Chains A and B, each alone.
Chain A
Amino acid sequence: MDRKKLVLIGNGMAGVRALEELFALVPDAYDVTVFGAEPHPNYNRILLSPVLAGEQDFDDIVLNDLAWYAEHNIRLHLNCKVEQIDRENRVVRGQDGTEAPYDVAILATGSQPVILPVPGKELSGVLAYRDIADTQAMMDAAATGGDAVVIGGGLLGLEAANGLMKRGMKVTVVHLGRWLLERQLDETAGRLLEDSLAARGMDFCLEAQTESIVDDGAGRVAGVKLADGRFLPAKLVVMAVGIRPDTALAEAAGLACNRGVVVDDTLRTSDPSIYALGECANHRGVAYGLVAPLYEMAKVLAQHLAGPSEAAYQGSLLSTKLKVTGIELFSAGDFMGGEGCEDIVLSDPAAGLYKRLVIKDDKLVGACLYGDSADGGWYFKLMREGRELAETRDRLMFGEAFHLGDAGHQGMSRVAAMADGDEVCGCNGVCKGTIVKAIAEQGLMSVDAVKKHTKAASSCGSCTGLVEQILLNTLGSDFQESPKTRAVCGCTEHTHGEVRAAIRDRHLTTIPDVMRAMNWRTPNGCASCRPALNYYLVSTWPREAVDDPQSRFVNERVHANIQKDGTFSVIPQMKGGVTNADELRRIADVADKYQIPMVKVTGGQRIDLLGVKKDDLVNVWKDLGMKSGYAYGKSIRTVKTCVGSEFCRFGTQNSTQMGIDLETMLGRMWSPHKVKLAVSGCPRNCAESGIKDVGIIGVDSGWELYVGGNGGIKTEVAQFFVKVKTADEVREYAGAFLQLYREEGFYLERTVHYLARVGLEHAKAKVIDDAENRKALYERLLFSLDGLPDPWEERVEGAQQHEFKTLEVL
């Protein structure tokens, strides 16, 4: 009951995103109150443009409906502007007198549109472009056609102008600069943009200053008068000349402000119990006006709210796109060049194509693309990573396609360039056109929905990035999946973190208990959540929770891997890749006796019998007399080894024995996803320790441990974890790390993804720095493995026989 009180001021994109991130980390840590000046639940402001252009409805852009607030027990005060932060008494006061005491407050008040100080600015029919009310007013005005003037030729102004034009108004854009979007484009690209908008019917007055807005005599706008004397008739004037961080409240409360509420790298203001993020904040002198930075801020802020954290917001590099359907434009970084910079320019005005890349110190620092922005994401990535260009420089202008060889699946920006018939999902043969069509026709908004409807990204998942990009392109926004959509599955709103916490904190031990306690929507879950719940139960309450075979995927239920024709593969354990003549003879006999169509050496240093009939499984295991290799499970797989010091002239340690010992210790270990280890006897690394979940490398003075490697869909190099001296320490450190992963990992999250989520530092703190905790983790691992039976032996002895017995032949 003595939860800390958190008050969020501003129910917009940044503030609510911070709450989502916070709930994903610690669902119940705070008692939350939210104040929002607008009468709406949280919505996606950037999609106001597609709404204005008639491509989406207001309903489509709601991010969190009222039910979401209720589910998280948030006290929500809509239509209630906060008028005072009483820092002395730590109370926030709303305009209607509502009070909310706080321990921690978050300011996320966004921006105010800048209104030019010209005569007539208060006339009826003069609008800004910021929220639903503005958008609705524009739509109402456009319903009867007529003339409109948009003041400001920036992103917002052009999107407003485009929307009004599409709704049938005659639109003139008045812009002070020499060309459009002069903060995003250089002159050449700006002119190309102007030409193509003009071709669609938009008019422009460039280098034009607004002198006044003219009254029609009844307090309504009649038109705009420019400084050069021109008069533009209009019944609607939209001012889109910039935004100003909304700091009124913060200033009144005496917080340090300077073009934004000043925050440090932890997003704290000058009052340590008040944080600020989003457009109202000023971080290292910058106040941002786009969503990408505020999502990054939200992540950092949530980590600080969740507990002591070293997370620091370092500022963001920005890229922009114009959300006008049919116009391709991308710009990022320092695209104007200047001192010490070199330009690479490709200009083909006749074809409507222009690209400019700015290079400094052999790194890409800016890009401005018009006409074909397919490689925008790739250039942006090069900029963010600060990659040295070296010999790739010659080909840089030709885009990512020329670099694919070295990029593998990293390339995510190809989608815009893909034809409808190009294959996106290699596993299920789904083409781009099919996905785009499904998104448009069925209103799909998330990767999960696309998976369900098209099957794309539903198998190996390596095309998930492409699917996200297609969603982004098709939805025409900075689409990003939020933690909210990372619920376990459609059967529940809860995230994996929430479910794990509930199982632990409320001591739940069966799947029906979890579903009841957490209000599952379906009677017995689905094929996604049931296996996850089963794993969480058996890993949290070893020897107590009862393993539910019906909630395991067939492979784990029958201890063999199902094949495309319904037969199974059998891979016996062969610790460390070491076998002997006797085992090989039995394998050979089994292969003959059961007419096994293929015997293959696997990538995991052991032997696979492929194409075994289900009815034969138990007999095959019996005749083999070997233990299960768990090649089918979200579990330990293999520990690969090299020959090591026993035979190899470079070997420094007995890596083979180390591998065998580890496999003996970890045998039968269930885990969030599969776990692979390797032990090499020297840094030549013949066992490929660098791409394993735990990789061990023997050196003269001991052993080095690496964690979080992955050789699969996207190759990831393992990160150095710790160096130890003895074999006992190897087992203890590796075991403790794996136990931490078993306790904290989300189902189907491999170590690399787990570490990306919690941070390597977190794992180091728990396993390396805290000796007591390490020992406790290690003991919990041994406790949960102790006494687990070998599944093949159990079956040979008759357990669950029905599973393998076919019924009466009719």
Chain B
Amino acid sequence: MEANNNWKAVCALADIPKLGSRVVRRAAGDDIALFRTETDAVFALTDRCPHKGGPLSQGLVVGEAVVCPLHGWAIQFSDGHACAPDEGCTGKHPVKVVDGVVWLSPV
């Protein structure tokens, strides 16, 4: 993460609802979904479910995972992998919160 230097400020922490998400659109490539947990940790995943491409940003945030709105797979924030028993993985992007501002470094 440190080696990466294309950090961009995308929004304030307060712009993401607790247990909610926001979508960051890119000029090229898939959208990125930002999630905020109950304890104000922020995570960024590619907004495509590894199952059938569902928009993860529209799912329910539970603990450190999001439940896809289409067929209910749970994708964990730690590494973008689907929780067992499902298998699959979506992209994970470095993100950090500094003084209430959310910084993202898309990969």
Interface residues of A (CB under 8 A from B): 428, 442, 452-455, 458-459, 522-527, 530-531, 549-551, 553-554, 558, 562, 564, 566, 802, 806-810
Contacts and interface: CB of A to CB of B under 8 A. Distances in A.
A806 B25 contact: yes
Interface in B44-94: 52-55, 58-63, 67, 69-72, 74, 85
Among A526, A550, A809, chain B packs the most CB atoms within 10 A around the CB of: A550
A522 B18 contact: no
B40 interface: no
7 contacts: A455-B71, A525-B62, A526-B67, A527-B59, A554-B58, A802-B15, A807-B24
Interface residues of B, number: 36
A808 B62 CA distance: 26
Given A524-B62, A549-B17, A550-B60, A809 B26 contact: yes
Interface of B: 8, 10-11, 15, 17-20, 22-27, 31, 34, 38, 52-55, 58-63, 67, 69-72, 74, 85, 104, 106
Contacts, number: 89
Contact of B24 (A442, A453, A802, A806): A806
A522 B83 CA distance: 15
B60 A551 contact: yes
A550 B24 contact: no
Given A458-B72, A527-B60, A807-B22, A802 B17 contact: yes
A562 B52 CA distance: 14
Nearest to A526: B62
B104 to A, nearest CB: 8
B45 to A, nearest CB: 14
Nearest to A451: B72
B20 A527 contact: no
A533 B25 CA distance: 33
B71 A428 contact: yes
Contacts of A530: 60, 62
Contacts of A453: 85
B25 A807 contact: yes
B3 to A, nearest CB: 19
Given A428-B71, A524-B62, A452 B55 contact: no
Contacts of A807: 10-11, 15, 22-25, 34
Contacts of B18: 550
A540 B42 CA distance: 33
A550 B70 CA distance: 16
A808 B24 contact: yes
A116 B58 CA distance: 69
A566 B54 contact: yes
Contacts of B54: 566
Given A526-B67, A806-B25, 6 more contacts: A453-B85, A527-B62, A527-B74, A550-B19, A562-B69, A564-B52
Contacts of A459: 71
Contacts of B70: 562, 564
Q: Which of A453, A524, A809 has the most CB of B within 10 A?
A: A524
A731 B74 CA distance: 43
Nearest to A550: B19
Contacts of B26: 809-810
Contact of B22 (A452, A531, A551, A802): A802
A452 B85 contact: yes
B77 to A, nearest CB: 13
B58 A562 contact: yes
A566 B62 contact: no
Interchain residue pairs A-B with the least CB separation, the first 7? A527-B67, A550-B19, A554-B58, A566-B55, A554-B69, A807-B24, A453-B85
A459 B70 CA distance: 10
Contacts of B55: 562, 566
Nearest to B55: A566
Contacts of B34: 807
A539 B25 CA distance: 37
Contacts of B63: 522-524
